Amino acid sequence: MRCRGRPPGWRTITTMTQKPTRFLSQPASRMHEELNRGTDVWTFFNQGVFPTAVNLGQGFMNWKPPSFLLDRLLEETKERVDLHHYSPARGRPRLLNAISDTYSASFHKPAAGNTDMLDGKVDLDTTGLPMQRPQSGEKLDPMSEIVVTPGANEAMYSAATAFLEEGDEVILLEPFFDQYVCETTFNGGVPVYVPMLPPSSGKQAVSANEWLFDWDLLEQKMASPRAKLLFLNTPHNPIGKVCTLKELQQLAALCIKYDILVISDEVYDCLTYDQQEHIRLASISGMWERTITVGSAGKSFACTGWRVGWAIGPKHLITPTMMAHLRITYTTNSIASEGAALGLELADQENFFEKQRQEYAARRQELMAALDHLGLPYTIPHGSYFVLVDASNIRLPDDFEMPDEVRVKARDYHVCWFIGHLCDVIVLPATAFYAEQDAKYGERFIRFAFCKDHQLGEAARRLEKLRPYLTQTREE
């Protein structure tokens, strides 16, 4: 008798192997480290865990992009069909040209006909370091020296895909943006960690530029025959350091000596304070040919959700990066790209970047004043929109409860969890930006973001609950 509802000829088939699918337990080997890293920092410290908290953790703004940009973009999206369809893989011509017009001068690109790059020639200053090239007036070529990507992160991933071979060593300066690790390992690279040297504790406030390169250790790692690539971040997240010309020259000398490619993450290039000048590593003699510079519309125009970034460099670096980007995401959102182009085109006439810098400087001052009042020592950031706070004088109660997943982490995780529950303010542990073996360098620090309007005052009020748990006041 045939079962009701089954078609003629249908019969039950049993599996021959009687085995579950191998995919229950066999992801790609490149995923092993990520899957076994434990709970990530963003899972611990977010609005879902602390729903009523003031969120000074993740670095996204709580305001819209400028109206001069949005108003024009809305008009154009209504009138134009092309904005609702694919853009060219390299990027929309309008945005490529706007990037070239905005940033060419800062690269000090070698003059047309200059053969130094082919000859391997490097110009040195009187101290024997590679010098910054003079201005040549050369424009970046939009069709060979720029590629637009879905966010700066994809630009860096594409660059790593384009140049890393299995086993190549990649130098990461700690603390670092956590994505650098996966951009390395997913492409077969081996991370090599070099901690920045923090200033000694004791003062209420120290300059971000007192965080120093460990030049001896850095050269030791760069001298490895397997070393190929280095990630640089200036202005720096989370330190707020803006590399000086002398530091960039010293770094350039090592990169040239050992022929190291640099992915220079410069997404905070428009956010510097205290008369600090952002200088591009690619502007140093010998480094145009060894540097892929990464930028971000999201950081520049308060539109992080648009996911528009770019990579800039010579043709021999950008062409492979572009080809990797082509196969990873193919193209970047058309409307968002047009918005980024409008922002760059109109920024000068609106005096936008200077106004924005002043507004961020005021937010920075508001946060630092609150930390001074409370007596929490910190690093004065000269760039980006983060403040590293020295939390070593916060005494945690012996009976304070925390999940086991937090307890096994470094002390800064405990402090951030305590602040979240006591003060209802989200901040991040600095060791999230360090390799596990180097947690000792970062565990006294926690990161505050000041890219928030109308929230810093409330955060300061809530943080007053910490006062009974502070062990001492630091010297000025």
- Pick the closest to residue 110 from 136, 89, 91 (CA basis): 136
Percent of the chain with pLDDT over 90: 88
Instruction: Specify the range with the lowest mean pLDDT, choosing from 24-33, 66-75, 394-403.
Output: 24-33
Q: Considering the chain, what percentage of its residues have pLDDT values greater than 70?
A: 95
Per-residue pLDDT, 476: 45
Is it the case that residue 124 has pLDDT exceeding 50? yes
What whole-number distance in Å separates Cα of residue 280 and Cα of residue 215? 19
Q: In CATH, what number does 31-60+352-469 get?
A: 3.90.1150.10
108-146 in b/e burial notation, b at 16+ Cβ within 10 A? bbbeeeeebbeeeebeeeeeebbbbbeeeebebebeebb
What's the pLDDT score for residue 17? 62
Q: Is the pLDDT reported for residue 1 higher than 50?
A: no
CA 103 to chain centre: 19
Is the model's pLDDT at 474 over the cut of 60? no
Segment 159-166 shows an average pLDDT of 98
Peptide bond into 175 cis (omega under 30): yes
| Helix or strand (DSSP H, E) at 205 | strand 205-207
Tell me: pLDDT of 283 over 60: yes
pLDDT at position 18: 75
Q: What is the mean pLDDT of residues 111-133?
A: 94
Q: Are 303 and 417 in contact (CB under 8 A)?
A: no
pLDDT in tens, 406-436: 999 999 999 999 999 999 999 999 999 999 9
Residue 279: exposure state from Cβ atoms within 10 A (0-12, 13-18, ≥19): buried
Contacts of 359 (CB under 8 A, 6+ apart): none
Q: Sorting pLDDT into bands at 50, 70 and 90, what band is 202?
A: confident
Q: What is the pLDDT of residue 475?
A: 47
* CA–CA–CA angle 369, 372, 377 (5° rounding): 125
pLDDT of residue 15: 57
Residue 102 has a pLDDT of 98
Q: Is the pLDDT of residue 3 over 60?
A: no
Say if residue 7's pLDDT is above 90.
no
Lowest mean pLDDT among 198-212, 228-242, 384-398, 445-459: 198-212
What pTM did the predictor assign? 0.94
- Is the pLDDT at 165 greater than 60? The verdict is yes
pLDDT of residue 12: 62
* The pLDDT of residue 4: 60
Q: What are phi and psi of 211, to 5 degrees?
A: -75, 125
User: What is the pLDDT, as a whole number, of residue 79?
Assistant: 96
How far CA 190 is from CA of 20, 263, 408, in Å, comes to: 33, 15, 25
**pLDDT at residue 89 tops 90:** yes
Distance (Å, rounded) from C-alpha 433 to C-alpha 453? 25
pLDDT digits (tens, 9 = 90+) for 293-311: 999 999 999 999 999 999 9
Q: Rounded mean pLDDT of 183-195?
A: 97
pLDDT of 16 reads: 63
CATH number given to 67-350 = 3.40.640.10
What pLDDT band is residue 19 in, cutting at 50, 70 and 90? Answer: confident
- The answer on pLDDT for 41 being more than 50 is yes
Please state the rounded mean pLDDT for residues 438-446: 95
Range in 63-67, 168-172, 199-203, 360-364 with the lowest mean pLDDT: 199-203
- In this predicted structure, the answer to whether residue 389 has a pLDDT above a threshold of 90 is yes
Tell me the average pLDDT across 221-250: 98
pLDDT tens column, 45-86: 999 999 999 999 989 899 999 999 999 999 999 999 999 999
Q: What is the pLDDT of residue 317?
A: 98
Q: Where are the domains of the chain?
A: 31-60+352-469, 67-350
Confidence of residue 9 (pLDDT cuts 50, 70, 90): low
Look over the chain and give the mean of its residue pLDDT values, rounded to a whole number. Answer: 94
Report the pLDDT value the prediction gives residue 394, as an integer from 0 to 100. Answer: 97
What is the rounded end-to-end Cα distance, in angstroms, of the chain?
Answer: 92
